[in-house]
Amino acid sequence: MDAIKIGVIGAGNMGRNHIRLTSELPEFELVGIFDIDKNVQQVAEQYNTRIFSELDDILPLIEAVIIASPSATHADMAIRAAEKGVHALVEKPLGLGYEDALAIYKAFQGAGTLLAVGHVERFNPVILEVEKMIEHEDVIAINTRRFSPKDMRINDTDVLQDLLIHDLDIVMNCLNKSSVKRLHANGRTAFSEQFVDYVHSIVEFENGVLATLEASRTTEDKIRDIDIHTTNAFIRMDLLNKSLTITRRTNYRLDTGYNHSYRQENIMEKVFIPMVEPLRAELLDFAKCIRCGGAPRICGGDACYILETVDKMKMQIYREGQDLGG
């Protein structure tokens, strides 16, 4: 089967990872890069590919495109790709808000082309393992923490669209597939008056599960933790270090032959997690969907639903007169 002719829009940090992998994977033929940054020449030379100065020059030459440009450009770039009949993988967030995302989604539906969205944590092997496990558990609550240092290159989104959106997607579409009943969110600015850099939110779902999500761009350490409380176990995930532990209650007793017995309070399981690069798995899923049909692991509809929820959180934080000062 011929390789899929693909282009990459945007050669920033995430874009370069896509360029690296599409140049390596036999499923793809990297036709070129579109980026207005003059420094992209070095990247093109490193991966032996072409630079295009106009989007309209590369779209007729490719079957699929990866859009890893700034979030504010996603709607324009994606809709133009859909109009040319080009499949797209758009990095998260799909748009700057629900309306942008919905316009992109409708454009690809109308064109009959594939739209996948780059929520790469969906392909984290820890998440894949827990998804199978959680089917047999009665979930009470889910707590997430996603902390990072401020990335000065990201200047068009707040911490909700930059970081929190990952965990919101995981909770709503992987760990607890139930609709939102109510939510509350608070946030604080730190580096500018325009964008929130810390957020704390509580989401109650129709099935009774409570989720507490915390995200920050004000820490020096990177933290990617998710805890799940169930009636039978406590599940702890470290998405950064790819570790998963499960603590279960037990009433095991050891009789010693005399008037004493030992009670083991709990059992801790450390689950083996295969070392899989999530972005590689995401690109392979994209290629498979193009060639064989079927829906990508995260489609435009999922991404719209997440952004609709993010917009509701933002409305509470930005429009209800809260003191956002640092």
pLDDT digits (tens, 9 = 90+) for 288-314: 999 998 899 999 999 999 999 999 999
Residue 157's pLDDT is what?
83
CA distance 39 to 28: 24
Whether 306 and 168 have beta carbons less than 8 Å apart is answered as yes
> What is the mean pLDDT of the segment spanning 222-239?
95
Question: Which of 142, 150, 97 has its CA nearest to residue 326?
Answer: 150
pLDDT at 257: 56
Neighbours of 269 (CB within 10 A): 11
Q: Which domains does the chain have, with CATH numbers?
A: 4-119+279-298 (3.40.50.720), 122-277+307-319 (3.30.360.10)
DSSP state of 310: H
What would the pLDDT profile of 33-61 be if each residue is shown by its tens digit? 998 876 788 899 899 999 998 999 999 99
Task: Give the confidence band of 276 by pLDDT, cuts at 50, 70, 90.
Answer: confident
Q: What value does the mean pLDDT take over residues 285-290? A: 97
Residue 322 has pLDDT above 60, yes or no: no
Beta bridge partners of 226: 144, 237
Q: What confidence score (pLDDT) does residue 326 get?
A: 46
